[in-house]
């Protein structure tokens, strides 16, 4: 009998030990699961950070290589359509163009608008455009390049209205033919 009592005592001791160790095991398992979830979260964050860094690096390199002035001034309808497609489809190029054109602007709103137009549009192309497309000309105000000009001007002249920006551009476009004729006369004299 003593052996049976001993077995019963040892089995009851192991049962007690098991019951005592069960909360500890649960605690450890809970902590391990919690740790695993945190590690997974850290890993996801790390991947997002690495992805963001690679995108930012790519965009920085892309900005360094964008030279908007290589395409300017626009001389033909083909040049203009190519630029319009670029501005419509490539927001990075569009933003970089606005950023670079801001450097051309000055404190005087009228002068800023005229400088931008001289840089962007050649007279040969400007003769085909008016602000609203009157007199059988094309509508300048609907072009993406017009919106880029407006954005560039507004970076320095924050409170400028559409009318204040468009007024010097309308005049500049209207006098494109005269400028072309003057260029022709000047080149004939030389």
Q: Can you tell me the distance from the alpha carbon of 170 to that of 163, in angstroms, rounded to the nearest whole number? A: 10
Q: For residue range 145-184, what is the model confidence (pLDDT) as tens digits? A: 999 999 999 999 999 999 999 999 999 999 999 999 998 8
Q: For residue range 36-72, what is the model confidence (pLDDT) as tens digits? A: 888 888 888 888 887 777 666 665 555 557 788 888 9
Name the pTM for this structure: 0.64
Q: DSSP letters of 9-69?
A: HHHHHHHHHHHHHHHHHHHHHHHHHHHHHHHHHHHHHHHHHHHHHHHHHHHHHHHHH--GG
């Amino acid at each position: 009998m003593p052996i049976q009592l001993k077995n019963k005592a040892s089995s009851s001791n192991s049962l007690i030990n098991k019951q005592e160790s069960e909360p500890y095991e649960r605690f450890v398992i809970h902590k391990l699961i919690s740790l695993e979830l945190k590690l997974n979260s850290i890993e996801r964050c790390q991947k997002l950070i690495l992805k963001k860094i690679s995108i930012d690096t790519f965009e920085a390199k892309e900005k360094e290589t964008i030279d908007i002035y290589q395409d300017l001034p626009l001389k033909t309808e083909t040049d203009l359509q190519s630029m319009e497609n670029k501005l419509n489809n490539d927001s990075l190029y569009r933003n970089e163009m606005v950023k670079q054109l801001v450097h051309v602007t000055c404190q005087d709103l009228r002068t800023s608008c005229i400088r931008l137009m001289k840089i962007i549009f050649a007279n040969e192309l400007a003769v085909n455009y008016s602000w609203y497309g009157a007199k059988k000309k094309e509508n300048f105000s609907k072009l993406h390049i017009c919106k880029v000009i407006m954005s560039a001007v507004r970076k320095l002249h924050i409170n400028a209205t559409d009318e204040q920006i468009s007024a010097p551009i309308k005049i500049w476009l209207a006098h494109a033919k005269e400028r072309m004729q003057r260029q022709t006369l000047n080149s004939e004299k030389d």
